Amino acid sequence: MRRPVAAVWPGSDALDESFLNPVPLSGVRGSGIISVDVEDYFHVQAFAKGIDRTSWIAYPSRVEQNTLHILDLFDELNVKATFFILGWVADYFPGLVREIIARGHEPACHSYWHRLVYELSPEQFQRDTARAKDAIEQAGGARVYGYRAPSFSITANSSWALDSLRQLGFLYDSSIFPIEHDVYGFRDAPRGPFRLETPFGDLLEFPLATFRFSRGPALPIAGGGYLRMLPRWYTRMGVRRAWLEGLTVVSYVHPWEFDPLQPKMNGPLRSRLRHYTNLSQTESRLRELIALGNFTGFRHSGLANFFPYSLLQTVGSQ
């Protein structure tokens, strides 16, 4: 009889990073970005097929309480962050946008209806984004400069959206994930911050965090499901390897990832695994990540001030 195979993920935390990496990395520190994509559990792409967007209002919302929990955590850790807010959330919870700003964080835009950019026409994208930006700015009484696409859906097929963002007045974007993935991914994009020329002016791009083993493919680290589900040693090792490359580690979390008690949704098994695994560990894993280096929001980092470009060219590399 075959012996049962041990569960890989919970047990694999027992392995130390030195198992894969003979070079001592423990002293390596660097800088990173903490961002929060402010959306509710029923907004996510994982369950989008079964939910009509006009019915969102019928679901019991938990975005406000979960975001307030994150704000308290950041106060305790003395960390500033960037909050990419769904326009729909800004319309229904304008007080939450004001609270994010009042606590010293940066408001930014995560679209209005959480639709994948590569499924929209340029006109639809422009309408959705303009509506979201306006909703967030009206709610918060502050200008919005940053954008993150739902499910990182600015890919090689929808890179036209970057011109549109600059035209709408955005100064930076953080939607490109330079990896291979079934929903998103822009494999050949630079892995560190870079500047793009558009017909409407320059736009800064901050790709999501990755690391590499030697000449291997870029691997995702330190955000969302990767932070929540992959072994803790993988996050530590990957983040430190990214810093050895001179990269800025751009991390992200969602309010629903801090909420094990959220109502359970129907959806494909893979979606449910991605959405519900280790929700009770998100906070402790985020605390560990923040302790590894110097984390802050985009605007607070100085990178999004747009000046000087020469600074950006020294941060990050191909």
Q: What residues from 15 to 54 belong to the interface with Zn ion (CB under 5 A)?
A: 37, 39
Taking CB under 5 A as the criterion, the residue among 30, 140, 150, 207 binding Zn ion is 150
CB of 252 to Zn ion, least distance (A): 9
Decide: is 106 part of the binding site for Zn ion (CB under 5 A).
no
Decide: is 223 part of the binding site for Zn ion (CB under 5 A).
no
Instruction: List all residues 6 or more positions away from 25 whose beta carbon is below 8 Å from its beta carbon.
Output: 17, 236, 237, 240, 241, 244
Decide: is 224 part of the binding site for Zn ion (CB under 5 A).
no
CB of 190 to Zn ion, least distance (A): 23
Span near Zn ion by CB under 5 A; candidates 16-24, 143-151, 154-162, 258-266 = 143-151
Name the CA dihedral angle for 240, 32, 173, 188, rounded to a multiple of 10 degrees: -10
Which among 85, 173, 172, 157 is positioned nearest to 122, based on CA atoms?
157
243 Cα distance to chain centroid? 18
User: ω before 199 within 30° of 0 (cis)?
Assistant: no
Decide: is 259 part of the binding site for Zn ion (CB under 5 A).
no
Size of the site for Zn ion (CB under 5 A): 3
Decide: is 87 part of the binding site for Zn ion (CB under 5 A).
no
Residue at shortest CB range from Zn ion = 37
Comparing CB distances to Zn ion, the nearer of 85 and 315 is 85
Q: What residues from 154 to 213 belong to the interface with Zn ion (CB under 5 A)?
A: none
Whole-number Cα distances in Å, 249 to 131, 135, 294: 30, 29, 10
Q: Are 247 and 209 in contact (CB under 8 A)?
A: yes
Indicate the DSSP class of residue 150. G
Residues forming the site for Zn ion (CB under 5 A) = 37, 39, 150
